[in-house]
Homo-oligomer: A and B are copies of this chain.
C-alpha cells in the first residue's frame, strides 16, 4: 500500500465514523429537549412563547455539536490538507 492509498482509507474511515457516532449524542439530546418541551407545553400552555423560544435556542446549541462533527467529516473528504500535500508531492515527482 502506497501513502496515497493509506491516507485515502484513513480519511474515508474517519469521515464515516465521526459523523456516524458523533450524531448519536446530539440526536438523543435533541430528542430529550423536544420531549420535555412537549411535556412542558401540556402542563403550562400559556407559557408556550417562552418555552418555544428557549427550545429553539437550546436545539441550535445542541445542533452545533452535530455540525462540528459534520464539518470535520467534510474537511476530511473534500479539504484534507494531508491528502493535498501527498497529491502535490506525487504530481511533482
What is A's interface to B at a CB cutoff of 8 Å?
1-48, 50-52, 54-55, 58-59, 61-66, 68-70, 72-73, 75-78, 80-83, 85-87
Extra inter-chain contacts (17) besides given A8-B82, A22-B23, A28-B29, CB under 8 Å: A1-B1, A5-B7, A7-B8, A12-B76, A14-B16, A17-B18, A26-B27, A27-B65, A30-B58, A31-B32, A33-B34, A34-B36, A38-B51, A39-B40, A41-B51, A43-B44, A59-B61
Given the interface pairs A6-B9, A14-B12, A47-B41, the reply to whether A66 lies near B68 with Cβ below 8 Å is yes
Q: Which of B21, B23, B54, B70 contacts A34 (CB 8 A)?
A: B54
